[in-house]
A and B are shown apart, each in its own frame.
Chain A
Amino acid sequence: MNIPSLFPAGSAAPLRWLGFLRVGVALTIMFKIISEWSYAGLLYGRAGVVQELISEALLNPLTPALHHLLHLFPASAGDHWLIYGFLSLNFAAAVLLLLDIGTVGAALLCWLCHLLVFNNSPLTTYGVDSFLLTLTFYTFLFHVIFSSRQRRGEAGADGQLVRLSLGLLRFHLCVVYFIAGISKLRGATWLSGEAVWHAVTQPQFYTFATPLIMPVLTLPMVVPLLTWGTLAAEISYPVLIWIRPLRRLVFGSIILMHLFIGVVLGLKLFAWTMIVFNVAAFGTAILPAGRSSGAEQPVVATA
């Protein structure tokens, strides 16, 4: 019996980036479910911390949410079992996605499950949820567009669709950083160079690294350099990432920024999700094995 490889034999083909996206998204979903497992009833139950009555008032009626699904079952079934059943199904779909088994169906299930969770309680969502919705949607969409044979390099893929799909992923990421960067230019603490200090000293971001990094942050110019460095990295990303000699430097800077967010501020899942987005979008243009592949290279056109 062949154990499926995470990155199929043909992953050095023009669709290698889609392998990064699939594996990254599957792992993100698994990490998220594991981290929320013990609080799932409180987060997603109809009588959870944000009760259904309140969430419903904030939702677009045409947008499905997890509690709509719960209503399909009799109350006697109990939210507890339904929610854990739902999360188990989502986890199983993520495992199948990771292993590239029944990938289109698994990607569809992952997208729909996250869609239901994302819209369930708008008051308690944060950046991870938004980006995971984006990435699960792209994972499903691109796996519909490109067949498994094309992804494995056994059949040619439509060059224009490959370039457009990868281009959309890259364009989206550039928009993210550009908007995040320019919106900070209106903030006094970003301009004065104090913003990173304000973030690190918040109780919600206190981690094991906080007492270690505080003595460094109190040294002259460290906080302003980190603050302005963040601004520079975000605003310049959409331009400099396209300049080949600077690409590794820009990519490395932004990954370092996310590692800082993950380790020092404790936003591990958010940092991981953004690293997945970056690696899927620009990894094939950065990583050594990707030099001979990626959308920059000719693709067999079969249309």
Chain B
Amino acid sequence: MKNRNLLIGFLLFHGLVVLVGANLYHFSKVPSWLDQAITFYSSWTGGGHSYTFFSPDVGHQNVAKAFLLMEDDQIVEDAYGSGGSSFEMRLSSLLHSLYNAQTHELSARILAAHALNKHPGARLVVISIGKYVPPDIAGHRAGRAADYQEFYRGTFFAQAE
């Protein structure tokens, strides 16, 4: 009976965390200890996550390009975040965080390290990050093409350990 009451208590508690955590970030004044406690609990149980998919707006997709200068002076170009594979989906999640301007440099370094690892002969890599702006429906009917608006560009070199 004691275990049963404990279980019932836990199920009710979990439901409460689901409710509070789901909408936590819409409250203006959430004590930081509560925020941390729910984040910790949700990282173990999934209860307390926020569910704001495609909101408040779908927005434009961030995409990244890597231009690698190879040892033979050839340019190799890679694009990230535009494929449908599981890996590309996850890269898109990474690129989505680029709406925060403070992460541009960090994310560009991540992509540069990945590109230089993938192409060991490269002398340098230029990372270009921008948003892909498709035409609206009227523009699409008129045959207008999508636009790539670059908002970050950086050049990186491999550094021997």
Q: Looking across the interface, which residue of chain B has its beta carbon closest to that of A35? A: B86
Across the interface, A49 reaches (CB within 8 A) one of B53, B86, B114, B140, namely: B114
A30 CB–B CB distance under 8 Å: no
Interface band, chain B: 35 or more
Across the interface, B8 reaches (CB within 8 A) one of A54, A160, A172, A190, namely: A160
Interface band, chain A: 35 or more
Contact B58 A54 (CB under 8 A): no
Across the interface, B92 reaches (CB within 8 A) one of A54, A197, A204, namely: A204
Quote the shortest CB–CB distance from B157 to chain A (angstroms).
17
B55 CB–A CB distance under 8 Å: yes
A75 CB–B CB distance under 8 Å: no
Which residues from A are CB-within-8-Å of B60? 198, 202
Across the interface, A60 reaches (CB within 8 A) one of B39, B51, B53, B137, namely: B39
Q: Looking across the interface, which residue of chain A has its beta carbon closest to that of B46? A: A134
Contact A195 B58 (CB under 8 A): yes
| Stretch in B10-18, B69-77, B121-129 touching the partner | B10-18
Q: Looking across the interface, which residue of chain A has its beta carbon closest to that of B146? A: A201
Quote the shortest CB–CB distance from A157 to chain B (angstroms).
12
Contact B136 A194 (CB under 8 A): yes
Which residues from A are CB-within-8-Å of B45? 133-134, 137
Quote the shortest CB–CB distance from A242 to chain B (angstroms).
16
Binary contact track B84-120/A, C-beta < 8 Å → 1, others 0: 1111111111100100000000100010011001000
Across the interface, A202 reaches (CB within 8 A) one of B23, B40, B87, B132, namely: B132
Across the interface, A218 reaches (CB within 8 A) one of B4, B11, B106, B140, namely: B140
Known: A175-B51, A203-B63. A115 touches B11 (CB 8 A): no
